[in-house]
């Protein structure tokens, strides 16, 4: 009688929500790729979100446990009970709230591998005072040390910042790049249709923005850039913004752009979109104006690169990191003439490096995750793919 196949290890991911967003979208795209090698569960502690149903249809198990607060002892016990019931081998928490719950519940349940995933360099620890910030960093660092966890960071800049702030040993903090689903086609018919729908003149330069309209995303930079372009506008520039924001923020943006329309600079706000792909095809370039030291590794830049789109970024470290693998990036200084920067960017040829897909596809991200899980699982556990530990690949 042939021996039965070893049971797949069980992974739990803990996140605040599965609504439409960068982190959540990557989970929805990547987690199904882990299913041949792991039993995959997701604990959602806030709004369940539209992506939960999509993940359930793929075979990922969703557990909705609404929780208030990050240090809720009853919530920690509930999650620990869930981890015990399914005999979890790995628990993997996202962002600060998910990390605290994952580490505490994982330690209480005796889960062998406990992971915290840091997605934002500037907004992971965010408090209203210097003392509050120090307290957040101290408590999370203490959790990592007590729970003997591992930390994933999405960029080199984020990893360096975490090491500097926490004092954790280097071997405890790893780089794990994000990935994106590559488009099946780069045909721009959908983009042309969008430009027609929004009555964008054919000769206009369409400057795209995709993201939340909120602090840290560089909205003041957009306003200053638009004013500079309007001061000496030789072309028609359209700022095409895709993303949600508060009514107050949207009103302030409209007010800033209102006097610029007569001088060749206009604003279109498309709001939040479940599928931004056609919008990338409608843009002539992507503007990434986030503040330095704020982002982790922006999914928006990766999505734009997947469509072969030129990217105009401020001089931030993640843009320089991406530039190693994708050549259509121009990093603009804050005091630089934006018209000249746009001209230089649009003159760049198609990507000449050819490394982007191999490094940043969603399949590459899934394989990196599988490799990290196998590395971190204790030697006493059977590795996925067989009792001999022979690795598989997606």
Q: Which fold has domain 189-346?
A: Rossmann fold (3.40.50)
- Per-residue tokens: 44: 């959602």
Q: In the beta sheet, which residues pair with residue 371?
A: none
Give me the pLDDT at residue 382, please.
47
Is residue 355 over pLDDT 90? yes
CA atoms within 13 A on the CB side of 147: 31
Q: Do domains 10-179+361-376 and 189-346 have the same CATH topology?
A: yes
Question: Do residues 277 and 183 make contact, with C-beta atoms less than 8 angstroms apart?
Answer: yes
E strands, the chain, where? 10-15, 39-44, 61-64, 90-94, 113-118, 150-153, 173-175, 205-210, 237-242, 265-271, 285-288, 311-314, 329-332
CA–centroid distance for 335 within its chain:
28
pLDDT in tens, 62-87: 999 998 877 889 999 999 999 999 99
- Per-residue tokens: 78: 């509930």
Q: In the beta sheet, which residues pair with residue 242?
A: 210, 271
**Single pTM value for the model:** 0.90
Distance CA 257, CA 203 (A): 20
Q: In the beta sheet, which residues pair with residue 118?
A: 153
pLDDT in tens, 305-329: 999 999 999 999 999 999 999 999 9
Domain ranges of the chain: 10-179+361-376, 189-346
Dihedral, 105, 106, 107, 112 alpha carbons, nearest 10: 170
Task: Give the homologous superfamily in CATH for domain 10-179+361-376.
Answer: Glycogen Phosphorylase B; (3.40.50.2000)
Distance CA 226, CA 260 (A): 8
């Amino acid at each position: 009688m042939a021996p039965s196949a070893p049971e797949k290890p069980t992974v739990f991911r803990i996140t605040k929500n599965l609504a439409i967003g960068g982190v959540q979208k990557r989970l929805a795209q990547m987690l199904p790729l882990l299913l041949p090698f792991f039993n995959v569960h997701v604990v959602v502690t806030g709004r369940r979100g539209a992506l939960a149903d999509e993940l359930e249809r793929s075979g990922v198990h969703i557990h909705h446990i609404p929780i208030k607060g990050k240090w809720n002892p009853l919530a920690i016990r509930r999650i620990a009970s869930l981890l015990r019931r399914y005999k979890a081998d790995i628990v993997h928490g996202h962002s600060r709230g998910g990390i605290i719950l994952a580490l505490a519940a994982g330690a209480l349940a005796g889960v062998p591998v406990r992971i915290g995933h840091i997605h934002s360099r500037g907004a992971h620890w965010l408090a209203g005072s210097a003392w509050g910030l120090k307290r957040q960093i101290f408590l999370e660092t203490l959790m990592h040390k007590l729970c003997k966890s591992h930390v994933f960071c999405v960029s080199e800049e984020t990893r360096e910042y975490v090491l500097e702030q926490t004092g954790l040993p280097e071997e405890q903090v790893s780089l794990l790049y994000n990935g994106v689903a590559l488009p099946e086609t780069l045909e721009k018919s959908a983009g042309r249709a969008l430009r027609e729908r929004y009555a964008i003149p054919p000769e206009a330069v369409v400057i795209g923005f995709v993201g939340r309209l909120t602090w840290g995303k560089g909205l003041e930079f957009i306003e200053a850039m638009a004013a500079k372009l309007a001061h000496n506008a030789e072309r028609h520039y359209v700022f095409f913004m895709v993303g949600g924001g508060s009514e107050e923020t949207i009103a302030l943006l409209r007010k800033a752009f209102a006097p610029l329309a007569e001088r060749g600079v206009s604003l279109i706000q498309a709001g939040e979109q479940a599928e931004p792909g056609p919008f990338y095809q409608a843009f002539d370039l992507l503007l990434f104006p986030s503040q330095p030291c704020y982002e982790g590794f922006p999914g928006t830049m990766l999505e734009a690169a997947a469509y072969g789109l030129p990217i105009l970024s401020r001089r931030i470290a993640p843009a320089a990191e991406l530039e190693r693998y994708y050549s259509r990036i121009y990093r603009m200084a804050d005091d630089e003439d934006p018209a000249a920067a746009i001209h230089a960017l649009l003159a760049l040829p198609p990507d000449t490096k050819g490394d982007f897909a191999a490094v940043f596809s969603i399949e590459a991200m899934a394989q990196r995750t599988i490799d990290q899980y196998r590395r971190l699982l204790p030697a006493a556990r059977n590795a996925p793919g067989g009792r001999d530990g022979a690795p598989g690949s997606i």
